[in-house]
Amino acid sequence: MPDHASGAQPGRRDPFAPLLQNPLAALLREHSDAGEATHSVPTGGAPLPVTTYADGRARINLGTGNYLGLAGDPRVVEAAGAALRRYGTSASGSRVLNGTTALHLELEDELADHYGTEAAVLTSSGVNANLALLSTVCGPDDVLLVDAHVHASLHAAAAASRGAVVRWRHNDLDSLTTRLERLDARAGAVVVVDGVYSMTGELAPLAGIVALCERYSVRLVVDEAHGLGVLGAGGRGAAEQAGVLGRVDAVTVALSKSLASVGGAVMTSRAAADGIRAGAMPYVFSAANDPASVAAALAALRILRAEPERVARLQRNGELLRTALAEAGAQPVPGRGAVIAVPTGSEEVTAAAWRRCFDDGVYTNAVAYPAVPRGKGVLRLTVMATHTEEQLREAAEVVAAAVRWVRDGERELAPA
């Protein structure tokens, strides 16, 4: 890369400084150089209940979004292969130009039917689903009321709107009520929440949120990235679980979890979907989802709808792991679904607990600031419908032992 600094005007700030001097990047680089990285650990195979990693060792995998276990399902693999052979490797254009295939239209129709909405709009990622929706709602005098703990993509998407962004305390209905009461009577407003919070597995109190939205005549957007295929009798997510799905104005999902693919979608009214297709940058100016990933998601959605027992098995496995962890002395954060968070503490303790689990044969996710508040790190576990009871009980013992080990170490190092 060219060294522009050598010929730069004296005193001019380097605009790349936020990248070059990022303290988190420096910390991650230090961990990588020391062989202690807890991030971007390469795998050597599909994300199965027992996954082979690049070091050649098989571990119980509690760190994947493959909730229904469909990423390696032969039916999903074959659907992707057939699309690859028919359509090639890329759509090679945006949806509004040459990037639409029959598969894109089929998946949108079946997602809309699954959620009981008039329409669905595919995007290239779950992040882009949130951006496509929230960047196109609200005028300059309107407001987006965003739960403080929503996924980073929702915060960024809300910031891309022309409306003002107001945060309210996480899952606190009193805080939301206060914000709603302060609204200008003429202002349009959208409440934005995760159905399932991705780092902790907590659920939004959707029954109460829906009641408030209806009382104050505001719209509601629910991100069900971690609810699709996981919660509700039909696997439609936290809104179905709470019995309020039909009262939500728009649902966003990621296809990279239960639907064993990559991409995202917005389920909403036909008029709102048309507005997204007409003006959302991630739809108009981004290449369409590649046909193989669309075919994989379509096959996975059909399996989800035809085999609801997978959803029930996933829900049982989630409760089994939560119970096993508590019994082993590693009480998780209260929640439902496939995401389970075990509190650890500081970044250093979280990293040490992760390494102990990894060395003892269990893969987890080490989550620290900024994904969670400082000093509130967790081992984030994710369960699959295809895990066995024996695998989950063994993993719970390993995780609990790792947490006990790091906590005992903290006590030994603490001043008398």
From first to last of its 416 residues, the chain has per-residue pLDDT tens of: 565 555 556 788 888 888 888 777 776 676 566 565 566 677 777 899 999 988 899 999 999 999 999 999 999 999 999 999 999 999 999 999 999 999 999 999 999 999 999 999 999 999 999 999 999 999 999 999 999 999 999 999 999 999 999 999 999 999 999 999 999 999 999 999 999 999 889 999 999 999 999 999 999 999 999 999 999 999 999 999 999 999 999 999 999 999 999 999 999 999 999 999 999 999 999 999 999 999 999 999 999 999 999 999 999 999 999 999 999 999 999 988 999 999 998 888 898 999 999 999 999 999 887 777 788 889 999 999 999 999 999 999 999 999 999 887 754 444 43
Tokens representing 218?
């505001």
Beta bridge partners of 379: 342, 366
Given a contact cutoff of 8 angstroms between Cβ atoms, the answer to whether 138 and 158 are in contact is no
The answer to whether residue 240 is domain-embedded is: yes
Distance of CA 288 to the CA centre of its chain: 21
State whether residue 386 is helix, strand or coil.
coil
* Residue 193 and residue 204 in contact, taking contact as beta carbons nearer than 8 Å: yes
Of 290, 306, 322, the last residue of a domain is 306
Instruction: Give the number of other Cβ atoms within 10 Å of residue 3's Cβ.
Output: 7
DSSP string, 288-352: PPPHHHHHHHHHHHHHHHH-HHHHHHHHHHHHHHHHHHHHTT-PPPS--SSEEEEEEESHHHHHH
Domain end (from 246, 276, 306): 306
Q: Does residue 68 fall inside a structural domain?
A: no
Look up residue 64 and give its DSSP letter: -
Q: Are residues 92 and 37 in the same domain?
A: no
Beta-sheet strands, E only, within 10-75: 50-52, 58-61
Q: Of 291, 306, 321, which one is at a domain's C-terminal end?
A: 306
- Local structure of residue 187 (DSSP, 8 states): -
CA angle at 39 for the pair 38 and 42, rounded to the nearest 5°: 105
Range of the domain at 376: 31-61+308-413
CATH code at position 348: 3.90.1150.10
- Number of DSSP helices (H) and strands (E) in the chain, helices first: 15, 13
What DSSP string runs through 93-154? SBTTTT---HHHHHHHHHHHHHHT-SEEEEESSHHHHHHHHHTTS--TT-EEEEETTS-HHH
Whether 399 is covered by a domain: the verdict is yes
Give this prediction's pTM. 0.90
Answer left, alpha or beta for residue 375, where phi above 0 means left and psi between -120 and 50 means alpha.
left
Does 271 lie in the same domain as 192?
yes
CB 154 within 8 A of CB 194: yes
Residue 193 confidence (pLDDT): 98
Place of tokens 């081992």: 379
Q: Are 146 and 167 in contact (CB under 8 A)?
A: yes
Q: Are residues 119 and 178 in the same domain?
A: yes
How far from 53 is each of 261, 262, 338, 384, CA to CA, in Å? Answer: 20, 21, 22, 18
Domain total of the chain = 2
Asked whether residue 9 is domain-assigned, the answer is no
Determine the 3-state secondary structure of 232 from DSSP.
coil
- Pair (293, 400) in one structural domain: no
